[in-house]
Structure 1
Amino acid sequence: MISIDTDVVVIGGGQAGLAAGYYLRRAGHRYVILDDQPTPGGAWPHTWRSLRLFSPAEFAALPGWPMPPWPDGFPPACHVVDYFTAYEERYNLPIRRPVRVTGVHRDGQNLVVSAGEHTWRAQRVISATGTWQQPFWPIYPGAREFTGRQLHTVDYRQPSDFAGARVVVVGGGNSAAQLVAEISTAAATTWVTTRPPRFLADDVDGRVLFRVASERAAAIAAGLPDPGGPASLGDIVMVPEVREARARGVLHALPMFDRLTPDGIAWGNTVQHADIIVWATGFRPALTHLRPLRLRERDGHIAVSGTRALKEPRLYLLGYGDWTGPGSATILGVGRTARAAVAELDLGA
């Protein structure tokens, strides 16, 4: 067993981990970033091929260095991966990969991060593992009896994989709408949602959503009434692919089915055949490495003040969504919460 001492361990080398690394480097801390992926890019190398950002490149920058412009609309995932790769090199971030963290434990004044034959003893730990590795699969009657294929958003790559099939896409968010838009070009596609989908206005993109999230955070911090965040505007950004699907008339969503049958789905006595069901039902925070600390509340989250865990003040959570900072699950928004987290580390206390 090899044990290494450092000030801070960052778990996760995606956008949140890179933002944390930038501010840790600027503050002069000893730190290491542990990433379980073999190459840079976080979750972005694993998304479907056509996925694009919701904003222009200038509104998707990590701290310190803008994302290079993309000349043709909003940048694709491959452009994000190239940017993250160059960002690591530009700031010489101390990233070790692939390193899979299996647990974080208390040890006196320190936290111990375990990963195979290596352990890191640190005064502080920043967990920045995101959500992509924790897809959420809802439980519905008949799911085990369904004889077709069941996939999640993480499994989707391209519409041609579904050519000629009867496909059901489940979910009411951005991913579901984009998958319906694409898969419907190659297969008979049915969209089902638990509530009617809420489309944003055509001129609302990531820039507007980030501004609204910032205004909400400022209002709450000032003790003013909650004006509602991005969710108050709708759930689905009308990217070009979704607008094109709307023009084709394929964005009609049916209510959620009651159950799955061996060869399809059913609403009461109404049965529809299906070959493939794609569950675009979102993700949960990837926090299994924190189980030894026993910090989760009943809702599955860890209670925080800002980004600091209330039941373990040596631990910070970064980039998991609004519960760890407004817009912190976005490339641009995570920089603000990363800066606040590093400023609060209070090393040596």
Structure 2
Amino acid sequence: MTAERRRGGSGHGIIGRVTTPPSVHDVLVVGAGQAGLGTAWWLTRTGVRDVVVVDAAEVGGSWLRRWESLQLFTPRRFSSLPGVPFPDGPTPTPDRVEMAEYLHGYARRLDVELRTRTPVTRLTPDPVGFRAETPDGPVRARQVVLATGPFARPRVPPAGAQLAGSVAQLHSADYCRPTDLPEGPVLVVGGGNSAAQLAVELAATHPVTVVAPREPRFLPERVLGVSVYWWLLLSGVLNAGADSRVARGVRRRGDAIIGRDLARLRDDGTIRWLTGRVAGAEGDRVRLDDGRTEQVSAVLWCTGFEPDTGWIDVPGALDAEGAPRHDRGASPVPGLHWMGLPWQTRVNSSIIDGVDRDARRTTRRIRRGLGRA
């Protein structure tokens, strides 16, 4: 019997096909973000029916936890998952709420068992494939897709622990609005797009200094009235292979900052820019790697994230540093697959537009594995 139901409260929610679960599932997808949902779509599209997707949070929840003014740079056309175009809206690019709503609606279209608020606390080998421990009991599966993404745990340099308690500190993952930081100067640490957006927002209410490891490289949002993403697509940059000369050049130069708002405020002196790395701190002073020090009253760490892989207890799945071992998403462990990693197969593998091709590739591997089984 097939039904659709959602269970609230402190338990997990289930959206989609609900049946008496077999003792072993064909595929377990860990992560209900863009990579996990896109993979689930291709799996069911190609005839793999016994798919379970689990996530520690609600679908779209990670977008709703981002800062309130967040607006994507990617046009709606480049914000779509397989099979479902992103809906039109009042702006050329979606905001965080639209993104969360799109993912939630996408999940409802999938003919899979989706368990939200169900973290996997440990993944181990099993005679049939793998065993995932969850608060609601174990889930066994022949094939597993790890799609929790590269942005699981905020990264803060050791200097954060060395600053005096009187210095207010936030990571960009915890920042919502300018009033989250006290009045007075703010040091924004980081040279990516998050740092650029938040520095511009904070500059309206705070004196802002940005510390970044290199001089910024700016790309306009639009060229000749057309989004820069279309030019990147037409020129072949977005879909360039991860090992291509184009991709190596992109990685060598580092991420470009989309838009010129930061450049304008830097040029007119509204925002100070310091090139260097944070090497340490003492009291209320941050020390850079060239010996300079900056007195701070508040710091916003836009220093990125790192994968949280401590729950993966599968020999051969991780390297000595705990990073995924893979070849274009294929783990050396048979039946284990990665999705949504930066540079997994192409330049755009870790953004929404890159999910489709990588999910198709992963699905083909899974079907071959199930066929052998």
Kindly tell me the number of residue pairs found equivalent between the two proteins: 342
Shift of residue 89, structure 1, vs aligned partner: 1.6
**Alpha carbons 1:318, 1:324 under 8 Å: kept:** no
Shift of residue 63, structure 1, vs aligned partner: 0.3
In the alignment, is residue 200 of structure 1 matched against residue 219 of structure 2?
yes
Matching residue of 1:289:
311
SS at match of 1:118: coil
The farther-off stretch of 90-99 and 152-161 is: 90-99
Q: Which runs of 5+ in 1 are unaligned?
A: none
Shift of residue 246, structure 1, vs aligned partner: 4.8
**Alpha carbons 2:122, 2:312 under 8 Å: kept:** yes
The farther-off stretch of 165-174 and 254-263 is: 254-263
Matching residue of 2:282:
261
**Alpha carbons 1:123, 1:348 under 8 Å: kept:** no
Distance in 1 separating the partners of 2:112 and 2:249: 33
AA partner of residue 44 (structure 1): W
**Alpha carbons 1:57, 1:74 under 8 Å: kept:** yes
Alignment of 1:214-229 (within 5 A): 214-217=238-241, 220=244, 225-226=245-246, 228=248
SS at match of 1:89: helix
- Alpha carbons of 1:233 and 1:259: their partners in 2 closer, same or farther (altered >3 Å)? closer
- Alpha carbons of 1:67 and 1:142: their partners in 2 closer, same or farther (altered >3 Å)? closer
AA partner of residue 318 (structure 2): R
In the alignment, is residue 132 of structure 1 matched against residue 132 of structure 2?
no
Q: Pick the aligned partner of 2:364 from 320, 343, 347.
A: 343
Matching residue of 2:56:
36
Matching residue of 2:296:
274
**Alpha carbons 2:29, 2:146 under 8 Å: kept:** yes
Alignment of 1:14-25 (within 5 A): 14-25=33-44
Task: Give identity over the alignment, percent.
Answer: 30
Shift of residue 200, structure 1, vs aligned partner: 2.3
AA partner of residue 255 (structure 1): T
Shift of residue 308, structure 1, vs aligned partner: 1.0
Matching residue of 1:321:
342
Shift of residue 16, structure 1, vs aligned partner: 0.6
Q: Say what the alpha-carbon RMSD is for the aligned residues.
A: 2.7
Distance in 2 separating the partners of 1:24 and 1:128: 14
SS at match of 2:359: helix
Matching residue of 1:190:
209
Q: Pick the aligned partner of 1:176 from 178, 182, 195.
A: 195
Shift of residue 181, structure 1, vs aligned partner: 0.7
Shift of residue 241, structure 1, vs aligned partner: 5.0
Shift of residue 248, structure 1, vs aligned partner: 5.1
Matching residue of 2:354:
333
SS at match of 1:129: coil
**Alpha carbons 2:32, 2:54 under 8 Å: kept:** yes
**Alpha carbons 1:199, 1:236 under 8 Å: kept:** yes
Shift of residue 84, structure 1, vs aligned partner: 0.9
SS at match of 1:217: coil
Matching residue of 2:130:
111
Distance in 1 separating the partners of 2:161 and 2:133: 40
Shift of residue 239, structure 1, vs aligned partner: 3.4
Shift of residue 42, structure 1, vs aligned partner: 4.9
- Alpha carbons of 1:81 and 1:263: their partners in 2 closer, same or farther (altered >3 Å)? same
SS at match of 1:49: coil
Distance in 2 separating the partners of 1:151 and 1:219: 36
Deviations 1:239-285 (A, max 9, x none): 37546645754454213344322123245775432121111111122
**Alpha carbons 1:304, 1:324 under 8 Å: kept:** no
